Amino acid sequence: MQKLGRQCFWAVLLLLALAVLLLAGVMHVDVRLLMPQLGDQVDGPPVTNVMFLKTHKTASSTVLNILFRFAETHNLSAALPAGGRFHLGYPWLFLARYVEGAEQGGPGRRFNIMCNHLRFNPPEVQKVMPNDTFYFSILRNPVFQLESSFVYYKSHVPAFRNVTSLDAFLASPWTYYNQSLGLSNAYARNSMWFDLGFDNDAPPEEDYVRARLLDVERRFQLLLIAEHFDESMVLLRRLLRWRLDDVVAFRLNARSRHSVTSLSPAGQERAKHWCALDWRLYQHFNRTFWARLRAELSPRRLRSEVARLRERRRELAALCLQDSEPKNKSQITDVRLRPYQSGRADILGYNLKPGLDNQTLQTCQRMVMPELQYMAHLYTLQFPDKPPKNIAFLGA
Ligand SMILES: Nc1ncnc2c1ncn2[C@@H]1O[C@H](COP(=O)(O)OS(=O)(=O)O)[C@@H](OP(=O)(O)O)[C@H]1O
């Protein structure tokens, strides 16, 4: 009798499971959306040695926030800029000695996570990162990347200083762009190509471009695409075997709508021509990105993973943020959460909900902490005996 009862129980359970699967199939719903805990399972230990080449104006600060949070929550070491510096020697080619502590404890000191701005120089990066490091970076359509760069670096970059608009610059770039001024003009032309360590003024000849694209393919396991940020996070999480919350992030370092300018259609075409190396880079890795996604996930699975990521971001926004809309500098009440401002860009940040309990507050603070503040925070954790980084603009 008891045996019959047990059999009935299992039969009902089986029927129920079949009904859920059938329903999910009919309604085109991924089962993991109905039972989220199923979807967070990953095979094998997470990858913990990661080098992210932080390209400029490509959503890279949002990725850096993800990596810093992972480093902090897993007690991993980060390769941080030495002394009072805020980047790893940029715009000069990276050298291992730009990393705090790289030369202490004898040569061979290795770090888990590396993600501050640097100009890629593989042999020197290899001196501070372990052999099994996962290398990745992110690219953005150079038309929009250049527009963001123009507004952000307007007064910093010689080529941009004396021109009123990007359209005017692109109509006659050689009037404003002086090659002999070298590195300080790197933000004005093929900036992603430059960050990868290549010559941003090289003629875009076919053999040269192909050889460099091959170099990038050899060095990096993954190139993400800023325009497809959520799909990028789904792919990254899969390859790193991380949990969903590890890759959920709020958009950081964004400009307010009024500081975004739009390029005329002719200006957009000129931007592709002016930044021909970046345009080739972007087109190539946009193609390989989608090929990789297709190889890793079915379209339905991709849709459901992106949906889960967005749902979780909405949940965390509701938990953490006073208002899900980002705020400008003067609206951010906690000065420590104000992002660095530059050029004509009005860079936005977030206010947290008041009255959060300590643990929630800590999680939420980390998610909205701007790059410089987070770096200074990790630096103090990692090097408590060294003078802390001085973020001058916070005192202003
Ligand atoms: N999640 C996500 N998806 C898409 N785009 C995003 C995301 N996060 C940040 N951004 C946009 O990235 C721009 C800032 O880039 P960076 O953080 O790389 O800039 S920096 O070089 O570190 O200053 C900045 O672009 P602009 O607003 O056009 O300047 C951000 O809006």
In short, whether 253's Cβ falls inside 6 Å of ligand 1 is yes
pLDDT digits (tens, 9 = 90+) for 10-21: 666 566 666 655
Q: What is the pLDDT of residue 33?
A: 45
pLDDT digits (tens, 9 = 90+) for 107-129: 678 999 999 999 999 999 999 99
284 burial level (CB within 10 Å; 0-12, 13-18, 19+): middle
Q: Is 382 strand, coil or helix?
A: helix
For 107, the enclosing helix (H) or strand (E) is: none
User: How far apart, in whole angstroms, are the C-alpha atoms of residue 52 and residue 247?
Assistant: 14
* Nearest atom within ligand 1 for CA of residue 56: 21
Of all protein residues, the one whose alpha carbon is nearest to atom 11 of ligand 1 is: 59
Mean pLDDT taken over the chain: 91
pTM recorded for the entire structure: 0.90
Ordered by start, the domain boundaries in the chain are 50-383
In short, whether 127's Cβ falls inside 6 Å of ligand 1 is no
Instruction: State how far Cα 232 lies from the chain centre.
Output: 9
Q: Which of 62, 114, 64, 121 is nearest to 91 (CA)?
A: 121
In short, whether 65's Cβ falls inside 6 Å of ligand 1 is no
Six-digit token string for 32: 């993991």
Residue type, 264: S
* Percent of the chain whose predicted confidence (pLDDT) is above 70: 88
In short, whether 57's Cβ falls inside 6 Å of ligand 1 is yes
Q: How confident is the model at residue 29 (pLDDT cuts 50, 70, 90)?
A: very low
Does 172 score more than 70 pLDDT? Answer: yes
Q: Which of 119, 65, 22, 88 is nearest to 316 (CA)?
A: 65
- Partners of 67 in the beta sheet? none
In short, whether 378's Cβ falls inside 6 Å of ligand 1 is no
**pLDDT, average across residues 366-389:** 97
**Residue whose pair of structure tokens reads 């980084």 in the numeric block:** 389
Six-digit token string for 11: 């039969």
**One-letter-per-residue 3-state SS of 183-201:** HHHHHHCCHHHHHCCCCCC
Of all protein residues, the one whose alpha carbon is nearest to atom 17 of ligand 1 is: 61
Pocket perturbation via mutation, ligand 1, pick of 52, 55, 60, 62 by most ligand atoms within 8 A of CB: 62
Q: What is the pLDDT of residue 182?
A: 75
Ligand 1 center from residue 37 Cα (angstroms): 31
**Residue 91, preceding bond cis, omega within 30 degrees?**
yes
User: Using alpha carbons only, what angle is made at residue 349 by residues 346 and 352, rounded to the nearest 5 degrees?
Assistant: 155
In short, whether 232's Cβ falls inside 6 Å of ligand 1 is no
In short, whether 272's Cβ falls inside 6 Å of ligand 1 is no
In short, whether 59's Cβ falls inside 6 Å of ligand 1 is yes
Report which DSSP code applies to 322.
S
Report which DSSP code applies to 258.
G
Six-digit token string for 191: 């900036």
Ligand 1 center from residue 59 Cα (angstroms): 3
- Start-end of H helices in the chain: 2-26, 31-34, 36-39, 60-73, 122-128, 142-152, 158-161, 166-171, 173-176, 191-195, 206-219, 229-240, 244-247, 265-274, 276-296, 299-320, 358-368, 371-382, 392-395
Ligand 1 center from residue 172 Cα (angstroms): 27
Q: What is the pLDDT of residue 325?
A: 87
Ligand 1 center from residue 57 Cα (angstroms): 5
Out of 24-33, 146-155, 347-356, least confident range = 24-33
Handedness of CA 391, 392, 393, 396 (dihedral sign): positive
Does 395 score more than 80 pLDDT? Answer: no
User: How far apart, in whole angstroms, are the C-alpha atoms of residue 322 and residue 115?
Assistant: 29
User: How far apart, in whole angstroms, are the C-alpha atoms of residue 189 and residue 177?
Assistant: 9
Of all protein residues, the one whose alpha carbon is nearest to atom 31 of ligand 1 is: 254
In short, whether 58's Cβ falls inside 6 Å of ligand 1 is yes
pLDDT digits (tens, 9 = 90+) for 259-271: 999 999 999 999 9
| Bridge pairing between strands 134-139 and 222-225 | parallel
**pLDDT, average across residues 274-295:** 98
In short, whether 145's Cβ falls inside 6 Å of ligand 1 is no
Q: How confident is the model at residue 37 (pLDDT cuts 50, 70, 90)?
A: very low
50-383, superfamily in CATH?
P-loop containing nucleotide triphosphate hydrolases (3.40.50.300)
If one compares 351 and 37, the residue with the highest pLDDT of the two is 351
DSSP string, 16-80: HHHHHHHHHHHTT--HHHHSHHHHT--SSPPP--EEEE--TTSSHHHHHHHHHHHHHHTT--B-P
Ligand 1 center from residue 21 Cα (angstroms): 39
Pocket perturbation via mutation, ligand 1, pick of 56, 61, 225 by most ligand atoms within 8 A of CB: 61
Does 389 score more than 90 pLDDT? Answer: yes
